[in-house]
């Protein structure tokens, strides 16, 4: 099987391969992502879930977002590394955390969301499209 991306958690118990290009790469500054990441933002690449193959024991946490959707965050059950997130508004997609990918050299942040919640120390280039909150957008399959 050929794939374009691979990754793993900190302890190596979770591994994944992806057989597609990302739909979008986004940086999120919402307060939930700040608490989840332990810093000012999270960065993720969205893929069709059917193109991602995962192995290892996962754990998950669900919550209601400020936008009214159910969000599921999935972690390594051993080391706690955040692996991906899912949103009930887009059930056929998942967003892998870029920090778990082996090679992100060809990926760039395309959009910033929840800019209104950005910490004062956070900066990003002017070439990035930024939204104050979550735009009303769904990927086209």
Q: Which residues pair with 48 in a beta bridge?
A: 93
Each residue's pLDDT tens digit, 21-69: 999 998 887 778 768 877 877 889 999 999 999 999 999 999 998 778 8
Task: Report the SS3 class of residue 43.
Answer: strand
Characterise 88 by phi-psi region: left (phi > 0), alpha (psi -120 to 50), beta (else): alpha
Structure tokens belonging to residue 10:
């900190």
Distance separating alpha carbons of residues 92 and 65, to the nearest angstrom: 18
Which domains are present in the chain?
7-130 (2.170.150.70)
Residue 120 CB partners (closer than 8 Å, separation 6+): none
pLDDT bracket for residue 108 (50, 70, 90): confident
- C-alpha torsion sign, points 14, 17, 43, 30: negative
Q: What is the pLDDT of residue 114?
A: 67
Distance separating alpha carbons of residues 59 and 21, to the nearest angstrom: 26
Each residue's pLDDT tens digit, 62-100: 999 877 889 999 999 999 999 999 999 999 999 999 999
71-106-31 Cα angle (round to 5): 30
Q: What is the pLDDT of residue 120?
A: 72
Q: What is the pLDDT of residue 97?
A: 94
Q: What is the pLDDT of residue 117?
A: 67
140 pLDDT more than 70: no
User: What residue has token string 């992100």?
Assistant: 104
User: What residue has token string 């739909």?
Assistant: 23
């Amino acid at each position: 099987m050929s794939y374009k991306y691979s990754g793993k958690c900190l302890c190596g118990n979770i591994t994944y391969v992806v057989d597609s290009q990302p739909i979008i790469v986004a940086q999120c500054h919402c307060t939930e992502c700040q608490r989840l990441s332990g810093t000012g933002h999270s960065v993720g690449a969205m893929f069709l879930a059917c193109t991602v193959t995962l192995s290892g024991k996962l754990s998950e946490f669900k919550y209601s977002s400020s936008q009214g959707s159910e969000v599921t965050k999935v972690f390594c059950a051993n080391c706690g590394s955040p692996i991906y997130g899912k949103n009930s508004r887009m059930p056929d997609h998942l967003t892998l955390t870029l920090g778990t990918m082996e090679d992100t050299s060809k990926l760039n942040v395309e959009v910033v969301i929840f800019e209104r919640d950005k910490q004062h120390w956070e900066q990003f280039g002017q070439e990035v499209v930024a939204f104050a909150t979550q735009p009303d957008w769904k990927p086209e399959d």
